[in-house]
Amino acid sequence: MRNVCGLLRTERAAADMRQSQDTTSILDIAIMATKLSQPAKWVVLAAITGVSVFGILTIGPTHEVAAQDRSPIVDVRTTDPEMNTAIARARGTLPTFWASYESPKPSETGLALKVRFSTRKGGEHIWIAEVKKQPDGTYSGLFANEPRDLPGKHAGDEVKFSEADISDWMFMRNGKIVGGETIKPTLKSLPKADADALRARMEQP
């Protein structure tokens, strides 16, 4: 639980939005987001701080994606091809994440995985920090943000998961985001200048 104490606030949004906690390196991205226009802030913070994606890989109607309980909502269809492609690309490049996990360079910090957890509404994708490999082949980590639809679970709680549940990964390298494939489909919702600014902060693995 060492780094749980290092979880920092991203920002207090308008409309009495509940605070979100994340790791220091992800906070860097959130700070960058606060310099964007208001619509851009919501999309970037939703993407970075661990949006709740209900049934993103299941058959069904449109479900809600929200950064926090009172935040604006971005609709993503459960069969959305661009998001599903992003998840597939993220899973296909997982070896890059594990290489940094095993032998991180000084410039590589803030490793995190986005993991899908089953819920009453389908599924919730949440960023996990402090990832550790377990002897039984599973993984453990700490919720890097507050789960929306997992009763009794909170930011900083330890959780176990399998590799099959991983939907994205990211870390910071020299001030740029490496990975974060599921962030990219949200860029089309941003004003061009804001989208271009965020793209400039994203590095190909």
pLDDT at 103 > cutoff 50? yes
- Ranking 53-62, 84-93, 101-110, 117-126 by mean pLDDT, the lowest is 53-62
Element (H, E) at 200: helix 192-200
Residue type (1 letter), 130: E
Q: How far apart are CA 40 and CA 146, in angstroms?
A: 21
Contact 65, 46 (CB under 8 A): yes
Mean predicted confidence (pLDDT) in 129-143:
93
Quick: pLDDT tens for 143-172.
887 788 888 998 889 999 999 999 999 888
Q: How far apart are CA 19 and CA 137, in angstroms?
A: 34
Domain that holds residue 189: 2-203
Quick: pLDDT tens for 161-204.
999 999 999 888 888 889 989 888 878 877 888 788 888 888 87
pLDDT at 79: 59
Contact 113, 131 (CB under 8 A): yes
Q: Which of 176, 170, 147, 172 is nearest to 159 (CA)?
A: 147
Overall domain count for the chain: 1
pLDDT at 99: 96
Q: What are the beta bridge partners of residue 133?
A: 139
Which residue has better confidence, 3 or 201? 201
- Average pLDDT, whole number, for the chain? 68
Relative orientation angle of helices 81-92 and 94-102, to the nearest 10 degrees? 40
Q: Is the pTM of this model over 0.85?
A: no
pLDDT at 37: 53
Q: How far apart are CA 45 and CA 136, in angstroms?
A: 34
Which residue has better confidence, 99 or 6? 99
